[in-house]
Chain A
């Protein structure tokens, strides 16, 4: 049944943003855990560990996110596992975000001068202690602006979960279009809502970056 676009539809779209945000949080947590592992692998002393990390990063960054979503959502059923859109999306986004966050954080770890590690070692700290007390506190400061920047990418990319039937903002837009047949208005509103989520973060990331440059 086709009906007119009304305020209630706009409210539904706004309400659907919570699933976009929920998926972003899950992806960020999952990707954060994977990312820490990858960053540590990529900066490890033993070369095979570094190769393993590089293989993961190049593999994930060389394939479309859409492929991961489809492999998890449609592909895993052959193993007898029934996958809900939630699980498929959480798994695909964790893998995807892990590769990018891992690379960002690796860069931040490596940006800390080697002499800092050596100073830690000469004080008798173990490698883990050097990381914990010397390197990470400094690296986190550098890591915040690009991490916030990646968060914007993540929010935008959660829109792809719509294609496996995950009802978030974009999917809600598709559903609203199907009942009201006002695609131009609906997608314009959807775009505006994404903008409202992302733009403040973009600004914040840029401001943090500026502040960091002044501090140095």
Chain B
């Protein structure tokens, strides 16, 4: 093999990588908050809602979970302008990722709510707890504990999935890699560096979720 690896060109463009990293983090953070919000509403609707509400939420969940993220992105970014709704790439990315995560977290959170037996709620009421107290102490924390591992790994997967938004030219970390690649032609080096960066992010996310788990559940 006569090829000599040159990572210098890649690291020389660190400003691009840093900008990209910032958008990746921003996208992940915004999507987690918005997606979990949608998921909480969806799960509540699916467990406590009437039959029609349940059917609509189920339709949303199945439509999102059975189609690829990249097609959803294309539909929002390239398709919606055709019927007069236009977003810039970053907004389209945030919107699509939130709606996408919303569907997955609806299912996860619903499983958590359903894991609490009804007799537990009745026991809580019979101890004189208010509705809010029952939700907080009997439903919320035990349910969160049950689904925490599934939720945490879903959120790490989401962070990795944000790389797909580079395909609608949102300038995230992966997009930065493509730009550096087209300027330096250091294909292998640049994608290897970015892969390691994502790996580091995934490990940091997992560590943070583990810490959060400790803070939330260590004394319960």
Report A's interface with B, CB cutoff 8 A: 58-59, 61-68, 70-71, 74-80, 152, 156-157, 159-160, 162-163, 170, 173-174, 177, 182-188, 190-191, 194-195, 198-199, 202
Distance in angstroms from A25 CB to nearest chain B CB is: 17
**Is the pair A183, B62 in contact by a Cβ cutoff of 8 Å?**
no
**Is the pair B70, A160 in contact by a Cβ cutoff of 8 Å?**
yes
Within 8 A of A (CB), among B109-159: 156
Give the interface centre of A75, A182, A188 by most chain B CB atoms within 10 Å. A75
Q: Residue A202 contacts which of B66, B70, B163, B198 (CB distance < 8 angstroms)?
A: B66
A sample of 4 more A-B contacts (CB under 8 A), given A64-B161, A64-B195, A202-B62, is A62-B199, A64-B163, A67-B194, A75-B187
Interface size on B (CB < 8 Å)?
Answer: 40
Q: Name the residue of chain A whose CB is nearest to the CB of B159.
A: A64
| Contact A187/B68 with A62-B199, A67-B194, A71-B192 known, Cβ cut-off 8 Å | no
In the assembled complex, which residues on chain A have CB atoms less than 8 Å from the CB atom of B80? 184
Q: Residue A78 contacts which of B3, B83, B194 (CB distance < 8 angstroms)?
A: B3
Report B's interface with A, CB cutoff 8 A: 1, 3, 62-63, 65-72, 74-75, 78-83, 156, 160-161, 163-164, 166-167, 174, 177, 181, 187-188, 191-192, 194-195, 198-199, 202-203
Which 5 pairs from chain A and chain B are nearest by CB? A62-B202, A75-B188, A184-B79, A159-B68, A198-B66
Q: How far is the CA of A68 from the CA of B191 in the complex (A)?
A: 8
Q: How far is the CA of A160 from the CA of B79 in the complex (A)?
A: 18
In the assembled complex, which residues on chain B have CB atoms less than 8 Å from the CB atom of A183? 74-75, 78-79, 81-82
Q: Name the residue of chain A whose CB is nearest to the CB of B160.
A: A64
Q: How far is the CA of A163 from the CA of B164 in the complex (A)?
A: 10
Distance in angstroms from A207 CB to nearest chain B CB is: 14
**Is the pair A191, B72 in contact by a Cβ cutoff of 8 Å?**
yes
Distance in angstroms from B93 CB to nearest chain A CB is: 14
In the assembled complex, which residues on chain A have CB atoms less than 8 Å from the CB atom of B156? 61-62
Q: How far is the CA of A64 from the CA of B63 in the complex (A)?
A: 23
**Is the pair B82, A71 in contact by a Cβ cutoff of 8 Å?**
no
Give the interface centre of A67, A68, A71 by most chain B CB atoms within 10 Å. A67
Distance in angstroms from B119 CB to nearest chain A CB is: 20
In the assembled complex, which residues on chain B have CB atoms less than 8 Å from the CB atom of A195? 62-63, 66-67
| Contact A63/B160 with A156-B68, A195-B67 known, Cβ cut-off 8 Å | yes
**Is the pair B70, A79 in contact by a Cβ cutoff of 8 Å?**
no
Q: How far is the CA of A199 from the CA of B194 in the complex (A)?
A: 34
In the assembled complex, which residues on chain B have CB atoms less than 8 Å from the CB atom of A64? 160-161, 163-164, 174, 195, 198
**Is the pair B70, A170 in contact by a Cβ cutoff of 8 Å?**
yes
In the assembled complex, which residues on chain B have CB atoms less than 8 Å from the CB atom of A194? 66-68, 71
| Contact A62/B82 with A70-B191, A71-B195, A194-B71 known, Cβ cut-off 8 Å | no
| Contact A157/B68 with A187-B74, A187-B75 known, Cβ cut-off 8 Å | yes
**Is the pair B160, A170 in contact by a Cβ cutoff of 8 Å?**
no
Give the interface centre of A58, A62, A160, A195 by most chain B CB atoms within 10 Å. A62
| Contact A173/B188 with A63-B202, A184-B83 known, Cβ cut-off 8 Å | no
| Contact A63/B195 with A163-B167, A191-B67 known, Cβ cut-off 8 Å | yes
Q: How far is the CA of A190 from the CA of B66 in the complex (A)?
A: 12
Q: How far is the CA of A15 from the CA of B135 in the complex (A)?
A: 51
Distance in angstroms from B35 CB to nearest chain A CB is: 17
In the assembled complex, which residues on chain B have CB atoms less than 8 Å from the CB atom of A76? 188
Q: How far is the CA of A78 from the CA of B7 in the complex (A)?
A: 14
**Is the pair B174, A67 in contact by a Cβ cutoff of 8 Å?**
yes
In the assembled complex, which residues on chain A have CB atoms less than 8 Å from the CB atom of B81? 183
Q: Name the residue of chain A whose CB is nearest to the CB of B75.
A: A187
